[in-house]
Structure 1
């Protein structure tokens, strides 16, 4: 890079990165070098962040940027890649060739083609598949697509004729729109029309697991984006919705997206209290307990929140109490995943042990006493500590005579006396 802004070489292990391979903003090796209107080159991510925060000048020269077009510096990128390959013996990994952001003009053309009834089905499908590929490539592409009327056009294709047989056009548009957030008006376009909701529920039983997951994803997006409690309640009343969503959670093969979307949708539905019994009847308890070990952190938190919600109704509490793994799993989770997971697990155990002496005995046998004493002395949330204290009080009569809970050591803990 021109010498108006020189950098000292940066050490990487046993070698140094040449200064002209480093972004003047981040000082890191450039992975996607682009040139701005002043002729200076930056890493794309860094200069985009600079502009996104309201800056309108070149970071190096301080000259105003005449436009915000970033031109890929292919020559410099190839030089950086060659340098990486030449130094791979020192642990340097070759940077991949970045995919260029979607061109807004191309996106508009594809959307117009996809939404045009005058175009052939084949050309409309090709346009949708290209849009889907762009959306999958990067969040930047999704942002470009979102600036157009994309969601409106895609929703119209998804629901173009809900009373007829499902077509590839419907399913391809569904796959794309399920990747985006929707505005409140777009959510109402779906949620306020139970025929559209019923159509999505029918897709929860499609032969393709991808179609089922895409449909569940759109249902969750619509529920989350709808403010009206009455409309959210009506969605949960649609026949088969809980069986369809729980069926996704029970999918026998390893499919992380199915687990993620399935638990997000089930949680959204269970936030409406009057529908929780329907979730229990549809098999939510068995699905949640059987799948708990398979969830990633964020999904595990959502799953445990759902368990706690279902434990607040009599049928849910009874069903969880009957499952042999419920109490041992919940005890094991305390202090293991996150503060939120601990809070939800403690809340579920409190509900279960309040209703069942057998659950109390199972919890004590699983080692809940030690877990709770550690919890109330930890830096966990106040809500979690409060639930733990209530559970300790509830379980005190169930503790063995020689346990720490009935010893003088208990008075030295941070548990509030009761």
Structure 2
């Protein structure tokens, strides 16, 4: 049914000017009305793309409302006297309407362009409510708009009345057709959980209604879902999104063939029985300090894993060494060991052992266990389908495509399995000694098709190299490792960047590895990452570790490195300041006289060093004192050429830093 035609305003005599001493000036009113007209026309012309199958009626309804608003703004702009005479209450309403229109346009674009289709299905109720709230706010503003104070024709008043009525009829509930589609999607996921494969007709109808009509649209949907899962844009439903990703992959292969090899991320879950017996806690799941089950495992710079509470108390009590190895900790950075935490959680679930996570800020999805099973079943069904297709394929090209897709699917699952296996100490030796085991992980780090696969490979290398110094050297011996980590840090998403930096830091713990890390570009990548606030602490720790073990000349040779480290000493977190000071001490001692001169002549460096000496940690004050002495010696050597020594000469190390801290 075609919508009713929009009534157009009739010609009328020029309005009488309405004087208002509090009205804004004409140029301000005209600019506001022109912006409102442009925004409302922009919204009214918005055509939801074919991929926007959900909330389409809401988007079209919003466009029609904007068209009616545009007629009002056109009428107000038609007569300059009317714009000049707008009362203050009307101007305030118009400004608020502009804000509401901005929210409406952003919501329409988000639902039609940015979100994946299946994610929008999961967020259907909240998205429909967002449209309702924006419409309700517009209705409220139209109700208080002082229409009676303006000389407008009856037809314009009728338009505003029509718009008010449409806004009042808005509902917070999703449209029935959208709700049916959402229920059908969740129903297919539920069937897959029970190992019931959806038939061809069901998938064809579902994909048709989702607008997934060819392999290209499926690839686009998969890519959007991968990004949303990786960035945790909807953390409460991440497990459901993983299951839906598996469904889209399976449907793409079933309906459109293996035309495009893509990877699917699943977690390999063991098939241990679900008996209710009390199982002995594996030694690798116990904290080396408390010997209790780790609830929040974290990795320290020595590569060892402890429970956060236990190692936190150890460091807070003044210890600066690894409790298990005795190795001096280069910093107090605690990196969450998410892979081990997931394994412990699954083990506890399988053996009915209570497990409460420490990071409960994101409530768990009640259906995560069953949905993860659905994701695993989706991957299994995809693999079985491809194997059957391979057996029946007469064409060499077709067979090659299917084999390639199977290899990619198997490669991701294999890396995920290796990551899980590498957490256990008994398995690390087996993986390192297996023919091609390490090489396969490194290959995925360099050539993986998704950032998630590369991130898993980096985490596996971290786990393997943390076990023994010989493994650490063997991992770093392959030049592809440094190159892969550098790519991860420079181009990957946030979670991948952090995993790459932590692995760099672990490998930099061995002096024999430094030359390969420097040659692979680790110093440049870490210095670039140091400019990102969330990455600064771990990135500067990498630079400090490299500089301490022989890489100081490489750091000094990097253009801008001295200034960047000095800037972090000025504005970074306490941990970042401490690591930056440690890096600068190594660079000044082993990087040549030019590095010392550059630091000593850096603007404001005296204040930066003084501040760290007065407020830093024991290690930070010690490093700052060393920097102060280095700069004073340089100033004395330059005294004959440039005059009196720097004000650093007046810093009293003995009165600022405890004697024990500088011995």
TM range (shorter): 0.5 to 0.7
- Name which of 592, 605, 608 aligns with 1:371: 608
Q: How many Å apart are 1:272 and its aligned residue?
A: 4.3
Q: How many Å apart are 1:403 and its aligned residue?
A: 2.5
1-structure distance, mates of 2:482, 2:436:
17
Higher relative contact order (CA 8 A, sep 6+): 2
Determine which structure has the larger helix proportion and give its number: 2
Query: Is the contact between residue 625 and residue 653 of structure 2 (CA under 8 Å) also seen in structure 1?
Result: no
Query: Cα deviations across residues 246-281 of structure 1 (Å, max 9, x unaligned)?
Result: 345566xx9767755543443343344432221012
Query: 1:87 aligns to what?
Result: 137
2-structure distance, mates of 1:138, 1:177:
27
Query: 1:45 aligns to what?
Result: none
Query: 1:196 aligns to what?
Result: 437
Query: Cα deviations across residues 163-214 of structure 1 (Å, max 9, x unaligned)?
Result: x9983344456668989984624984865646133123234444xxx72744
1-structure distance, mates of 2:135, 2:630:
64
Query: 1:353 aligns to what?
Result: 588
Residue ranges of structure 2 left out of the alignment (5+ in a row): 1-121, 142-170, 199-214, 243-266, 268-368, 388-399, 637-643
Q: How many Å apart are 1:225 and its aligned residue?
A: 3.5
2-structure distance, mates of 1:280, 1:306:
11
Query: 1:403 aligns to what?
Result: 646
2-structure distance, mates of 1:217, 1:353:
35
Q: Which has more radius of gyration?
A: 2
Query: Cα deviations across residues 113-170 of structure 1 (Å, max 9, x unaligned)?
Result: 9xxxxxxxx9xx99x9599589456434455775457789989x8xx9xxx9983344
Over the aligned positions, Cα root-mean-square deviation in angstroms equals 5.1
Q: How many Å apart are 1:89 and its aligned residue?
A: 8.3
2-structure distance, mates of 1:111, 1:170:
25
Query: Is the contact between residue 191 and residue 231 of structure 1 (CA under 8 Å) also seen in structure 2?
Result: yes
2-structure distance, mates of 1:307, 1:152:
44
Q: Which moved more, 1:353-362 or 1:333-342?
A: 353-362
Query: 1:322 aligns to what?
Result: 557
Query: 2:621 aligns to what?
Result: 385
Q: How many Å apart are 1:221 and its aligned residue?
A: 1.5
Residue ranges of structure 1 left out of the alignment (5+ in a row): 1-71, 114-121
2-structure distance, mates of 1:377, 1:272:
32
TM-score normalized by structure 1? 0.58
2-structure distance, mates of 1:195, 1:152:
29
Query: 2:505 aligns to what?
Result: 267
Alpha-carbon distance change, 406 to 142 in structure 1, aligned in 2, over 3 angstroms: same
Q: How many Å apart are 1:359 and its aligned residue?
A: 2.0
Query: Is the contact between residue 462 and residue 503 of structure 2 (CA under 8 Å) also seen in structure 1?
Result: no
Query: 1:244 aligns to what?
Result: 484
TM-score normalized by structure 2? 0.39
- Is 2:462 aligned against 1:218? no
Indicate the SS of the match to 2:443: helix
1-structure distance, mates of 2:432, 2:541:
24
1-structure distance, mates of 2:570, 2:378:
46
Q: How many Å apart are 1:326 and its aligned residue?
A: 1.8
1-structure distance, mates of 2:501, 2:544:
14
Alpha-carbon distance change, 89 to 412 in structure 1, aligned in 2, over 3 angstroms: farther
Indicate the SS of the match to 1:211: coil
Query: 1:284 aligns to what?
Result: 522
Indicate the SS of the match to 1:334: helix
Query: Is the contact between residue 175 and residue 211 of structure 1 (CA under 8 Å) also seen in structure 2?
Result: no
